[in-house]
Amino acid sequence: MSVKIKPIGDRVLVKYIEEEEEQTRGGIIIPDAAKEKPQEAEVIALGSGKKDDSGNAQSFEVKVGDRVLISKYGGTEVKLNDEKFMLVREDDILGIVS
């Protein structure tokens, strides 16, 4: 996937992994506005990384293609070519899904 967004610093570009359309037993479809924001996402791009006190770059613990869990209220939503992405700090990534 070629995305025209290059994160800066310790930021990570992720794309939410959308769940299938949710439907109740009675056949009622729950609208997107009423759904909770998903927390699972795929890493699309990485920034240049954090710098330590002496100015050396620290490597990321995640890599492009990893499935990760992100905090509910972290990051900034970005829309590009009708696709929604999220820019989050590496600290907002809670874990890697294996």
Instruction: Please report whether residue 92 resides in a domain.
Output: yes
Q: The CATH number of the domain where 60 resides is what?
A: 2.30.33.40
Determine, yes or no, domain membership for 52.
yes
Tell me whether residue 49 is in a domain.
yes
d(CA 74, CA 9): 16
Residue the block writes with tokens 């009675």: 26
Tell me if 92 sits within 8 A of 75, measured CB to CB: yes
Domain count, the chain: 1
Within 13 Å of residue 55, how many CA atoms lie on the same side as its CB?
A: 0
Is residue 80, in this structure, part of any structural domain at all?
Answer: yes
How many residues comprise the chain? 98
Residue 74, domain member (yes or no): yes
Q: Terminus-to-terminus CA distance in the chain, angstroms?
A: 21
Any domain includes 5: no
pLDDT 10s digit of each residue in the chain, 98 long?
Answer: 567 889 998 999 999 887 655 555 666 766 655 555 668 999 999 998 888 888 888 889 999 999 999 988 888 999 888 888 999 999 999 999 98
* CA-based radius of gyration for the chain: 16
Given this model, what pLDDT does residue 82 score? 85
Tokens of 44: 């699309």
- pLDDT tens track for 37-54: 668 999 999 998 888 888
Q: Residue 66's domain spans which residues?
A: 11-19+30-97
